Amino acid sequence: MQGLKLAREFYQVCQPMLRADLAGIMDTAAVGLVGEGSECFGCDDAQSQDHDFGPAFCLWLPREVLLAEQPRIEAAFAKLPHEFNSFASRLAPQRRQGRVGPLPIEDFYAFFTGLDHAPATWQEWLAIPEYQLAACTNGEVFEDTGGAFTRWRTALLACYPRDVLLKKMTARCMVMAQAGQYNLPRSLQRNDPVAAMLAAARFAEAALSFAFLCNRRYMPFYKWAAKLAGDLPVLGPQAVQALRVLALTPMQGDQASEAVAAVEDFCTHAANHLRAVGLSTAPGNWLWEHGPQIMRHVEEPALLRMDMLQG
């Protein structure tokens, strides 16, 4: 039983009770499971049940409603089942950890974005870490009678404005070239496995992020990035395959050349994609040449002045 399915079924049991006890309040609420935790990404398994596991859901309300009606809301939550499908509920106040139960809509999104409104400028978009955007747009909204929570969610799911997206894609190309295509083979030639490991890690993170960006998606927390990338239609399977080879290949000895070949293979796929969508006309797979080609499509002058490795 995965956490998201458990949450959905638990809410189906709790919904009539909440509708009866919180009449009026539920008309301004959204209910679902979104945020931090492997269960919100659908990545939880049997091992995940050793902590923070159990039936629970979020009840998002406008801050003023939650503050005004908190005693009534807590009384209603205290009457909900303490156990479901043989699992103890996480809705007891001491088990929520700020991740489930009654939550203010504004504070929920402010925690992840640092803003009290949906990002509107390129500066606001660029300042929010990708994994935070992934976390506040994952999971599932079971219902949203009030609509406020979904308005935020819809704005974020639209992904970055075009200039920001292109700037980030440029930066990922430059890092992949610098770390994977240049510094990884040089570190291996110097028989420096630690430097090679670090170069491979930087390449891996940039490659995964590039794949998510090409799909107009946000890369999640690194622990789940490769697992979720495999389902991306554009470059996802190629990224995962290359990084599996990279992860399983010793960073020294005769097999080291396999790691370099895996890097070059993914860079070839990335370069082919950039040419196919009209973002680059550079030949070959040396991504250091493709990054500036992407930037030719950016219109915002301030972004054009930024270091191409940043984004």
Task: Give tens-digit pLDDT for 173-223.
Answer: 999 999 999 999 999 999 999 999 999 999 999 999 999 999 999 999 999
- The residue segments making up the domain with residue 125 are 3-157
275 and 131 belong to one structural domain: no
- Judge whether 209 and 130 are in contact, CB under 8 Å: yes
DSSP 245-310: HHHHS-SSSTTHHHHHHHHHHHHHHHHHHHHHTTS----SS-HHHHHHHHHTT---HHHHHS-TT-
pLDDT above 90 (res 44): no
Domain count, the chain: 2
214 and 137 belong to one structural domain: no
Percent of the chain with pLDDT over 70: 98
Q: What is the residue-averaged pLDDT of the chain? A: 95
pLDDT above 80 (res 1): no
Which residue in this structure is represented by tokens 């219902």?
143
pLDDT above 80 (res 52): no
pLDDT above 60 (res 50): no
pLDDT above 80 (res 112): yes
Mean pLDDT of 7-19: 97
Measured CA to CA, the distance from residue 197 to residue 124 in angstroms comes to 33
In a domain, 310, yes or no: no
150 and 245 belong to one structural domain: no
Residue 254 confidence (pLDDT): 82
Among candidate residues 133, 157, 181, the one where a domain is terminated: 157
82 and 126 belong to one structural domain: yes
Token pair listed for 215 = 């799909």
Measured CA to CA, the distance from residue 308 to residue 174 in angstroms comes to 7
pLDDT tens digits along 211-235: 999 999 999 999 999 999 999 999 9
Among candidate residues 157, 178, 206, the one where a domain is terminated: 157
121 and 50 belong to one structural domain: yes
pLDDT above 70 (res 300): yes
In a domain, 116, yes or no: yes
Percent of the chain with pLDDT over 90: 92
pLDDT above 80 (res 271): yes
